[in-house]
Structure 1
Amino acid sequence: MSLEQLLAHQQVWRGFKTQNLPKKSSGYPELDELLQGGFPAQGVTALHTQPAVGELRLLMPQLQQQQRLWILINPPALPNAEFFAQHGIGNHQLLVLRPNSAKETLWATEQCLLSGSSHVLLWQQGMNVAQLKRLQLACQHGDSRLFAFYPPHDSQFSLPFDLQLELQAHPQGLQVTVLKRRGGWPGQSRLIHFARHWPELTQQQASQVIPFPQEKVG
């Protein structure tokens, strides 16, 4: 395949165009700085994380900003409706799907993204390049976004996601590391502080000031 053909199929990164990629603010200034503006405005983002470390809290500003339906496909547990309601997200804005097979899961994900009326949170163990490409095309046609959750150190590292992040629990929130980013370099990391939003879930930092001993008088 010639260089012109590779460029036409967006198989080569052209550095001078990296700043033109549309982004959506993540809702966290430190994460926006790490991602040079926020999450991709459309496309597939992979999140490698242990369950229940705050991954949905990280995405909460995304769920709050959008007027579309958010579809949760194969979540590991039943979503807490009260938690979402406390953040202004009603049951009518969420839909949970549990397809019967991996094939049906990918089909349902593609149809939801193509609809133009929803975004998707997906928990799926396996995906190949051809399947990912189909989902990316569906995001383009539907102007939609897909956040796919995987365990840490999963074999999906080799897939050409639009953005690939690793999340690690931290006493103050989440440590986010860029594993792969279209139009950017991997390896950068930031601590995303949750204390401003959920102080009850963060560990109070001990004072680093050592008091000077007072001399007794008399």
Structure 2
Amino acid sequence: MRQPGNDPRQTTVHPLDRPAGALLPFERRVLDRVRTLARHGVVPVSALTFRDAGEAARWNDRLHAEVVAEARRLGLSRARFSRAAVTGLSAGALGVGAAVFWAVLRFCLTHTQPPSLVAGLVLGGLAALLVLGPLGRLSAGDLGERDTDAGREVAARWLGVRRWLRAHETFSGLPPAAVAVWDRYLAYGAALGAARLRVPRLGHCRPVWRARSEKP
């Protein structure tokens, strides 16, 4: 990163024209975006932001999934609910849907004149789908992560890094080009919320991790 003047918004990124080596999927995703936007080996830091909110959301969702997959691979994170719990939620959703279907079908057969099996099947099916839709998405969707013993141990070390970074009074005001001096610690500070003033320079970002005891 190079900052030609006093304004950090003038910072430019110059990706190196050489193989990046072995990268994790989410690291590769970030580097690919920088290289894709670069023109003649240069990209203004302001150009790294997304112009379309939907595209930004999709990119961040994919990045998040890759980070979670790596955390699980290292044994630092696990699904919030076990497979047994998710299976139980799915079975419960099916049970509720079946009960709604039967109730509507029975109503059509006993309280309509003349009784209509076809209407009962159609209306019962629609009612069951209305119930199963939200419940199905809840049981099959991403219900979040929870820590492991190893994850808590690693998190404790990173809390120490964050405290050390925050102890430097000028750290939160460093421009992006300070990466030449601080190297990876500037990225660590942005991820841990210790370099809050620099994050807006790179777009609508937020700390990727918080201690459980912190308020959202």
Q: TM-score range by the shorter chain?
A: under 0.3
TM-score (norm 2): 0.26
* Structure number with larger C-alpha Rg: 2
TM-score (norm 1): 0.26
